[in-house]
Amino acid sequence: MRCPSCASLDTQVKASRPTDDSSSIRRRRICPDCGGRFTTFERVQLRELTVLKRSGRRVPFDRDKLQQSVDVALRKRPVDPERVERMINGIVRQLESMGEGEVPSETVGELVMEGLKGLDDVAYVRFASVYKNFREAKDFEEILGKLAEGEEELPPPPKKKRAPSEP
């Protein structure tokens, strides 16, 4: 496994254990060249998946790409990587159980949004803003409004203070 920091091919497994739900094996690896540490996961792949893009193009499903977009949404958020792993596993299992192994890209996006909503509100809004290609502030308000549903009602916005120069 190539080191993500220095690209050395000589990395070593330091520890190996199943994730909490035993759906993956988690390996901690170390790179003797640069001292970099990283984690890899070994998982079951039940079937090959094809993603049908909005353009009509078909591409092989790429779990790493999905992981990358999730990682971008979760950047600097305090979420346990194992929870992320479980969420992605869940998405992949759902996709694998659908239809004939071909899934619309919209379905993938909806599942990721749903999964992120359960993990981290900020990541959810980040992902949704890219995925839904928000152009207007009201789109954000709408999705933030949906997040607030079921929670306490927000207090009314503070009244504008009158500037001292005004009569």
Give the interface with Zn ion as residue ranges (CB under 5 A).
3, 5-6, 8, 31, 33-34, 36
Q: To the nearest whole angstrom, how small is the minimum distance from the Cβ of residue 38 to Zn ion?
A: 9
Residues 110, 106: Cα–Cα separation, whole Å: 6
Q: To the nearest whole angstrom, how small is the minimum distance from the Cβ of residue 67 to Zn ion?
A: 20
Nearest to Zn ion of 32, 101 (CB atom): 32
Residues ≥6 apart with Cβ < 8 Å to 139 = 129, 132
Crossing angle, helix 105-119 and helix 63-73, to 10 degrees? 40
Residues ≥6 apart with Cβ < 8 Å to 22 = none
Residues 95, 107: Cα–Cα separation, whole Å: 8
Cα angle for residues 141, 144, 150 (degrees, 5° grid) = 130
Q: To the nearest whole angstrom, how small is the minimum distance from the Cβ of residue 68 to Zn ion?
A: 20
Nearest to Zn ion of 36, 104 (CB atom): 36
Residue type, 25: I
Nearest to Zn ion of 28, 43 (CB atom): 28
What six digits make up the tokens of 31? Answer: 């790179």
Q: To the nearest whole angstrom, how small is the minimum distance from the Cβ of residue 118 to Zn ion?
A: 34
